[in-house]
């Protein structure tokens, strides 16, 4: 074959190959364009427009960020309906899901006579073993019920302070329920008395960490009356109570009604308290009062289940025997009756008055006069009086006389103890009786004195009480204000004079120092209140800068109070920046109002689904109040800075 023929054949093959490649390229491009167009239409039709499509030859490459894993799979499925699934290349990503919200950590602690129980959910990194060990140290190894669960989430801010303070409070509250959350605590408890309640509230308020929101609900229960005493007398002036105790309101009304029926001649009331020896107390009291009325004159005394009826001298023996017989048969079980019909004694005119008199003046001066058995009794009476009323307020002028009754020392000391329960008065000890007269600012003074005398002297001894109740004087007008009143006073001060700062700084302006002095005076009078000093700015400038400036200004106010010797252990300074506007930041007036210092009482936030029901803990519920916020606006700097 000639060379020219070979070249012609080779060129022909090359041209054919080139034409094939060009045709294949046009075919691939057509396929790419057709695939990409079809896929985009399908994605748009299914509102999956976030997905990006790129055709590369026969391959269809999907990219973009899918809002969820489900939408990523849906996209692949839609595209697979347009092109062969083998041609799909998936490079899509899935948007990161937000971290799961941590659980609500809380704990409920109940302490009573049975021990301590704790239930709730706490962070796993809490020192659970130490917590349970501290509780066991309080009540015993086997008297702590641990029902806690733990979750592997970071410990929220304020949790450690709240739980630590809960343990501190638990040591002082043997009957209590404590609810703990991050940064706040609610305490429901019972105290032994009103005085104990006030003391506990002050101690817990001072001990709480700064910033901890705390709600205290401490109640004082009904008084415990020991012995449970009732004493009623009938004489020439009518009937009257020296002491009256009842276990319920209904029992009180029942006893007073019976007394009015037999001639109660003066206003009276019964102390409702705990310690009644039997539920039949009111029935026994009614029966005894009717018996005394049948005799006509004398006294009847109930001390727990012991009943003593003393008839007046000259009472007919037959009447006395009949009434006492009926009374013995009518009293409920458990009550024991002792009846006395005094026999008149001949007076010895030559013996002189055998008596001991102690007087207490309104100024607190005490004088002891009359007769005592011996030197030991005089020393004992003098020492007791000085220990009770004060060494420099007692004057003793009692004589030592022989042949006084053997029970004279007991009667003298009981009389002095009765005198100590009065504001002023006199006690008179005679061989046949003991009398107490005076004024007291304690409503149930007669009941307490009657109970004490019955316990010291015995059920058969005669004594008379003439005690006038006089309400204590009202507290002076300058008495310490309550927390809500303090908050209101701070509002008033700042309504007159603003707290101002140097422009763009945390330095309190010189013209506001008098305002700080007024605020310091109020807070000194307020004592231990839990207070948050809040700093706020407008929205001008960067958010982080505003937050830092508000914190610095709140701290500056706290420092100024400390410099004025205000006790600030229960105060906390917090900056909120621009996060809590009270007016529109779009106006000049609004921005000026938003630049402010607020004084707020620290209160716990209340969760709507929670209740304060507490089994085994009897406590009064005190409604929470939300007084107006105490605010003070700062003067707006001329340069527009916060």
pLDDT for res 627: 39
Residues 467 and 449 sit within 8 Å (Cβ to Cβ):
yes
Of 451 and 609, the one with more pLDDT: 451
State both tokens at 295: 């005799």
pLDDT greater than 90 at residue 94:
no
For residue 45, give the H/E element and its range. Answer: helix 3-45
Mean per-residue pLDDT for 77-97? 81
Q: Which of 466, 562, 534 is closest to 266 using CA atoms?
A: 466
Percent of the chain with pLDDT over 70: 85
The span from the CA of 603 to the CA of 415, in Å, is: 50
Mean per-residue pLDDT for 312-338? 90
Of 291 and 639, the one with more pLDDT: 291
| Residue count of the chain | 642
Mean per-residue pLDDT for 87-106? 77
pLDDT greater than 70 at residue 174:
yes
For residue 436, give the H/E element and its range. Answer: strand 434-440
> How many Cβ atoms sit within 10 Å of the Cβ of residue 321?
12
In the chain, what's the furthest Cα-to-Cα distance? Answer: 184
pLDDT for res 99: 55
* Angle, alpha carbons 575-581-587 (nearest 5°): 130
State both tokens at 31: 């396929």
Residues 314 and 252 sit within 8 Å (Cβ to Cβ):
no
pLDDT for res 133: 92
Mean pLDDT across the chain:
82
Which of 150-154, 219-223, 488-492 bottoms out in mean pLDDT, i.e. has the lowest? 219-223
Of the pLDDT bands very low, low, confident and very high (cuts 50, 70, 90), residue 607 is low
Helical H segments across 88-153, by residue range = 128-139
pLDDT for res 553: 92
Of the pLDDT bands very low, low, confident and very high (cuts 50, 70, 90), residue 576 is very high
Cβ-count burial 59-83 (b if 16+ within 10 Å, e if not) = ebbbebebeeeebbeebeebbbebb
Mean per-residue pLDDT for 448-463? 84
Cα 494 from chain centroid? 29
Of the pLDDT bands very low, low, confident and very high (cuts 50, 70, 90), residue 615 is very low
Mean per-residue pLDDT for 194-203? 82
SS (H, E, C) 209-230: CCCCEEEEEEECCCCECCCCEE
- The beta strands (E) that lie in 459-595 are given as 463-469, 531-536, 571-575
Of 132 and 21, the one with more pLDDT: 132
pLDDT for res 15: 66
Q: Domains of the chain by range and CATH?
A: 3-94 (3.30.1340.30), 106-219 (3.40.1520.20), 229-340 (3.40.1520), 356-469 (3.40.1520.20), 483-633 (3.30.1330.60)
């Amino acid at each position: 074959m000639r060379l020219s023929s070979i070249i012609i054949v080779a060129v022909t093959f090359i041209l054919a190959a080139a034409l094939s490649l060009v045709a294949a390229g046009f075919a691939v491009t057509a396929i790419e364009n057709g695939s990409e167009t079809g896929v985009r239409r399908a994605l748009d039709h299914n509102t999956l427009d976030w997905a990006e499509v790129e055709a590369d030859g026969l391959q269809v490459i999907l990219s973009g960020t899918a809002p969820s894993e489900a939408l990523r799979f849906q996209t692949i499925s839609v595209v697979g309906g347009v092109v062969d699934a083998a041609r799909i290349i998936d490079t899509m990503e899935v948007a990161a899901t937000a971290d799961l919200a941590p659980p609500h950590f809380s704990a409920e602690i109940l302490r009573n006579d049975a021990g301590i129980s704790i239930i709730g959910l706490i962070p796993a990194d809490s020192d659970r073993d130490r917590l349970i060990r501290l509780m066991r140290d309080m009540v015993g190894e086997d008297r702590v019920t641990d029902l806690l669960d733990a979750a592997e989430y970071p410990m929220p801010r304020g949790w450690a302070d709240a739980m630590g303070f809960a343990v501190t409070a638990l040591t002082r509250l043997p009957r209590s329920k404590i609810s703990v959350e991050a940064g706040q605590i609610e305490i429901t408890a019972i105290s032994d008395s009103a005085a104990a309640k006030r003391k506990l509230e002050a101690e817990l308020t001072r001990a709480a960490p700064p910033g901890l929101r705390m709600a205290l609900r401490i109640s004082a229960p009904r008084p415990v009356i020991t012995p449970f005493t009732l004493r009623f007398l009938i004489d020439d002036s009518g009937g009257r109570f020296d002491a009256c105790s009842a276990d319920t309101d209904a029992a009180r009304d029942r006893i007073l009604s019976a007394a009015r029926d037999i001639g109660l001649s003066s206003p009276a009331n019964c102390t409702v308290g705990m310690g009644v020896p039997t539920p039949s107390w009111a029935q026994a009291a009614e029966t005894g009062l009717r018996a005394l009325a049948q005799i006509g004159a004398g006294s009847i005394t109930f001390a727990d289940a012991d009943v003593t009826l003393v008839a007046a001298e000259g009472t007919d023996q037959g009447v006395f025997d009949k009434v006492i017989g009926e009374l013995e048969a009518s009293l409920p079980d458990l009550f024991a009756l002792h009846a006395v019909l005094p026999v008149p004694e001949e007076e010895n005119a030559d013996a002189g008055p055998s008596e001991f008199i102690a007087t207490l003046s309104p100024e607190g001066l005490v004088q002891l006069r009359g007769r005592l058995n011996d030197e030991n009794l005089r020393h004992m009476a003098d020492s007791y009086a000085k220990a009770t009323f004060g060494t420099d307020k007692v004057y003793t002028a009692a004589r030592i006389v022989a042949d006084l009754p053997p029970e004279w020392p007991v009667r003298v000391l009981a009389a002095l103890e009765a005198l100590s329960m009065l504001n002023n008065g006199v006690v008179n000890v005679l061989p046949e009786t003991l009398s107490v007269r005076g004024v007291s600012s304690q409503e149930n003074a007669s009941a307490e004195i009657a109970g004490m005398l019955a316990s010291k002297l015995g059920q058969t001894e005669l004594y008379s009480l003439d005690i006038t109740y006089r309400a204590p004087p009202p507290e002076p007008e300058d008495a310490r204000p309550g927390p809500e009143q303090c908050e209101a006073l701070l509002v008033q001060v700042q309504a007159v004079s603003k707290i101002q700062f140097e422009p763009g700084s945390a330095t309190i302006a010189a013209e506001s120092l008098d305002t700080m002095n007024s605020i310091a005076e109020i807070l000194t009078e307020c004592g231990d209140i839990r207070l948050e000093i809040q700093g706020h700015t407008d929205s001008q400038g960067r958010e982080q800068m505003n937050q830092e400036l508000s914190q610095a200004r709140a701290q500056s106010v706290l420092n100024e109070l400390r410099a004025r010797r205000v006790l600030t252990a229960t105060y906390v300074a917090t900056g909120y920046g621009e996060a809590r506007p009270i007016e529109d930041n779009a106006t000049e007036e609004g921005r000026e109002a938003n630049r402010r210092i607020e004084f707020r009482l620290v209160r716990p936030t209340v969760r709507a689904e929670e209740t304060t029901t507490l089994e085994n803990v009897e406590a009064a519920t005190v409604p929470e109040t939300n007084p107006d916020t105490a605010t003070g606006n700062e003067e707006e700097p001329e340069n527009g800075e916060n």
